[in-house]
Chains A and B, each alone.
Chain A
Amino acid sequence: AQSVAQPEDQVNVAEGNPLTVKCTYSVSGNPYLFWYVQYPNRGLQFLLKYITGDNLVKGSYGFEAEFNKSQTSFHLKKPSALVSDSALYFCAVRDSPRDDKIIFGKGTRLHILP
């Protein structure tokens, strides 16, 4: 069965510093990977996805993620953090194009300190 793990409940980063939010996955086939962001009292918003192709995926708001098949990881990164990046981030996975649902990690709360 597919699963995704976000090992950190919370990540604190100073504004202007690079940030990384970690995600590892487990699937039986080729993974379809996603990152979503949630601001307070809002639904989840799509950030980026990896389906196939380049291992470095660029998404919204300057975020990018690196797919690493050997380490089964899909870490979210940004070169320079903004206070407005503070939110809850979810990694998600689907292991088959025929599967009609996506499995989410438990989320990582990102705090950007001014």
Chain B
Amino acid sequence: ETGVTQTPRHLVMGMTNKKSLKCEQHLGHNAMYWYKQSAKKPLELMFVYNFKEQTENNSVPSRFSPECPNSSHLFLHLHTLQPEDSALYLCASSQVSPTGDWGYTFGSGTRLTVV
């Protein structure tokens, strides 16, 4: 375990369903991230939360809705998804500091399949 836990590990959902992905970090970090990893594509940054405030939204469709209730938890709410949204969704956390001497800790990801 890396200290970042994602649930569920696998999710199959229909295009009309509503589901949520959960991420929890036990590292005391102050920033959390959602990334999308599709086959043969670069990692796509979706959302950034820094001290619980959303600081980045990379033109993500509104069918993806993030929520960060506190610095330890991050959710990704999903509704009316498309088959092309099938991917590995990765959560990461970091301890952002002015020194710049920090990186990410990733969870194991949620493998999402939209049918």
Inside 8 A of A41's CB, which chain B residues have their CB? Answer: 88, 108-109, 111
- Look across to chain A and name the residue whose beta carbon is closest to the beta carbon of B104: A102
B43 touches A96 (CB 8 A): no
CA A49 to CA B98, docked complex, whole Å: 17
Inside 8 A of B103's CB, which chain A residues have their CB? Answer: 34, 46, 49, 92, 102
- A45 close to chain B: CB less than 8 A: yes
Stretch from A13-21, A61-69, A103-111 at the B interface: A103-111
A63-107 residues at the B interface, CB under 8 angstroms:
90, 92, 94, 96-98, 100-107
Given A43-B90, A43-B108, 8 other A-B contacts at CB below 8 A?
A46-B104, A51-B100, A51-B101, A90-B43, A96-B100, A100-B56, A102-B103, A102-B104
Q: Which residues of B contact A (CB under 8 A)?
A: 2, 4, 6, 31, 33, 41-43, 45, 48, 50, 55-56, 88, 90, 92, 94, 96-101, 103-109, 111
28 A-B contact pairs sorted by A residue (CB < 8 Å): A32-B101, A41-B111, A42-B108, A42-B109, A43-B2, A43-B6, A43-B92, A43-B107, A43-B108, A44-B90, A44-B104, A45-B2, A49-B103, A97-B97, A98-B98, A98-B100, A100-B31, A100-B55, A100-B56, A100-B94, A101-B45, A101-B48, A101-B56, A103-B45, A104-B43, A105-B42, A107-B42, A107-B43
Q: Which residues of A contact B (CB under 8 A)?
A: 32, 34, 36, 41-46, 49, 51, 90, 92, 94, 96-98, 100-107
